[in-house]
Each structure stands twice: as C-alpha cells, then as structure tokens.
C-alpha cells in the first residue's frame, strides 16, 4: 500500500531549529516532496529529493534515506511566518504518476 506518516503538530520558538519527519510505506518510490500551506492559502512547493541525502534551500533543508523509507524537512532560524502546515508527498511507483500526500504537520512558532 501507499501511506506517508508525519506528526500532526509541532511547536517551536522563534530562532530555533525544527525537524519534521516523514516515513513512508510503499513498494516503489521515485522521490519525496515537501509543501507548505498557510491557513486559507494554497499549498506551495518547498523541495524535492529524488536521491538520498540533504537538499538545502535557504533556511529550509530536506533529507531522504531510501533504505530507511524516511525523510525530513529541517527549518532553521524559525520565523513567525513559518507557522503553517507542512506536507510530505511521495511520487510512488504504482503506475499512477501523481503525488500521494501525508496528513500534514501543523507547525506553531511562538515568540
């Protein structure tokens, strides 16, 4: 089957570092994406990992380990505006070429 698991909520303070984990179960896998969604807004693309390792884009980094069926999104120097929901999404090898999303992690950044 296809499923992606992530924590439902995470709380952190401004300036801190937070890691949002995503584990997946699937028989085949092309890559892992991360999307950010503010309340009332559209999900927006943050990053994509096709290969194992770390991808860095400014304050955000994403990591993938295929052998562990695991990835994470790392947010550094947290700002209040980072308060949002974060979704991991898998590009699965099921014959379907469309993303399967996790249920999302709501990040609350506190002063």
Partner 1 sequence: ETGVTQTPRHLVMGMTNKKSLKCEQHLGHNAMYWYKQSAKKPLELMFVYNFKEQTENNSVPSRFSPECPNSSHLFLHLHTLQPEDSALYLCASSQGLAGGRDTGELFFGEGSRLTVL
Residues in touch with partner 1 (CB under 8 A): 4, 8, 30-31, 33, 35, 40-45, 47-48, 50, 87, 89-91, 96-104
What is the DSSP secondary structure assignment for residue 80, as one 8-state letter?
G
Nearest distance from C-beta of residue 14 to partner 1, angstroms = 26
Nearest distance from C-beta of residue 30 to partner 1, angstroms = 6
Contact 10, 107 (CB under 8 A): yes
Phi and psi for 26 in degrees, rounded to 5? Answer: -160, 155
Tokens 């295929």 identify what position? Answer: 66
Nearest distance from C-beta of residue 16 to partner 1, angstroms = 25
- Side-chain-facing half-sphere of 12: CA atoms under 13 Å: 22
Nearer to partner 1, 89 or 109 (CB): 89
């Amino acid at each position: 089957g296809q499923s992606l698991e992530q924590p439902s909520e995470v709380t952190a303070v401004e300036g801190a570092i937070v890691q949002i984990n995503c584990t997946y179960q699937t028989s085949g896998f092309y890559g892992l994406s991360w999307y950010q969604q503010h309340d009332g807004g559209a999900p927006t693309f943050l990053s994509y990992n096709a290969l194992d390792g770390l991808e860095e884009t400014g304050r955000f980094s994403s990591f993938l380990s295929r052998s562990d069926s695991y990835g994470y999104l790392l947010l550094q120097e947290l700002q209040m505006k980072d308060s949002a929901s974060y979704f991991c999404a898998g590009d699965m090898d099921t014959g379907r070429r469309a993303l399967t999303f996790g249920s999302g992690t709501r990040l609350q950044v506190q002063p």
